[in-house]
Amino acid sequence: MTPLVSVIIPCRNEARSINRCLDSVLASDYPPGRLEVIVADGMSHDRTRQQVESYASRDARVRCIDNPGLTTPQALNRAIAAARGDLILRLDAHAGIAADYIGRAVDSLERYGADCVGGAIRTRTHGSGIFAEPIRVGLSHFFGVGNSHFRTGPDGPRWVDTVYGACWRREVFDRVGWFNEDLVRSQDIEFSSRLRRAGGRILVSPEMHIDYYVRGTLGAFWRQNWTNGMWAVLPFVFSEGIAVRWRHLAPLGLLVSLAISAAAGLGIFVAAPYIALNLAASAHAAWKERRPALVLRMPVVFASLHVAYGMGSVWGCARLSASLFRQGLVKRTATEVAE
């Protein structure tokens, strides 16, 4: 029997994007009677809620539920609790899927015996500023995102550490638990880490296409990468084991190396190789896109990605240290009181 698929969408103040996301899901070629869509709204104060309810009034497959906790992991857990599906597929409001995405996800889970499957991202940018196109390219290039295969696009299906637009078997949540609600960001990475430690297998399939929309301005790009960098470190406080991969900590390593070498008067020995690699990657990206003019802007985008992410991780380390200090202080005080 064709499995029932529950598409869960956490959102808050996504009036600009939610229509596009829902349109892509409802245009799916998956059997309509075997699909439901649950939008967990974080008490939006724009028109997001009205737009979702408009879809629900026209299509019985769509439901809107409240997420008074406001955060993404709380939205995901509430949606999972409300879902009836045999399979759970998570989307973000600023994403859109190809018509055959759900069908291919179901097929891949069965064909490969995976516990989770996701597709290859096609990065899109809002706006048409001078950095919109370089940002799109940078988020799809190995020098920008490391071995994040769902971003760079593998040649064929392969086992990976995490995916975007994930589709899980329902029993996965019974086996390893739900999303960690302490993690405002990186909850998907931590969940994938927990799943793999429990013996689960995660597959990325390049035949499954998912569009991911990002803001195309350099300022928004900096802010996003700062936040992502901070939450590459903070999971160490809220979860067991090492939730992130080396690529998430590489920008932090770059900044630490630059700081130490600069303090020793040897900064050029770290800065020069990085600049050379940046320029080489920029030339490669421009050649791959057949757009020579990109070579002038790609170094700025790559440096912005790495430096902003690294600075966010440095701030995350400061917050992590403060948290550990407070925990140690509380434990020491409790011991002194007990004595």
Q: What is the pLDDT of residue 211?
A: 93
Q: What is the pLDDT of residue 248?
A: 77
Q: Strand 116-126 to strand 202-215: parallel, antiparallel, or no bridges (unpaired)? A: parallel
User: Within a 10 A sphere around the Cβ of 190, how many other Cβ atoms?
Assistant: 25
Q: Tell me the per-residue pLDDT of 134-143, one tens digit each, with 9 for 90 and over.
A: 999 998 888 9
Q: What is the pLDDT of residue 326?
A: 62
pTM across the whole model: 0.85
Q: What is the pLDDT of residue 156?
A: 86
Q: What is the pLDDT of residue 336?
A: 41
CB 139 within 8 A of CB 120: no
Q: What residue ranges define each of the domains in the chain, with the CATH number in brackets?
A: 5-216 (3.90.550.10), 246-338 (no CATH)
Q: What is the pLDDT of residue 329?
A: 41
Q: Which residues of the chain have pLDDT under 70?
A: 236-245, 323-339
CB 212 within 8 A of CB 94: yes
Assign residue 70 a region: left if phi > 0, alpha if psi is -120 to 50, beta otherwise?
Answer: left
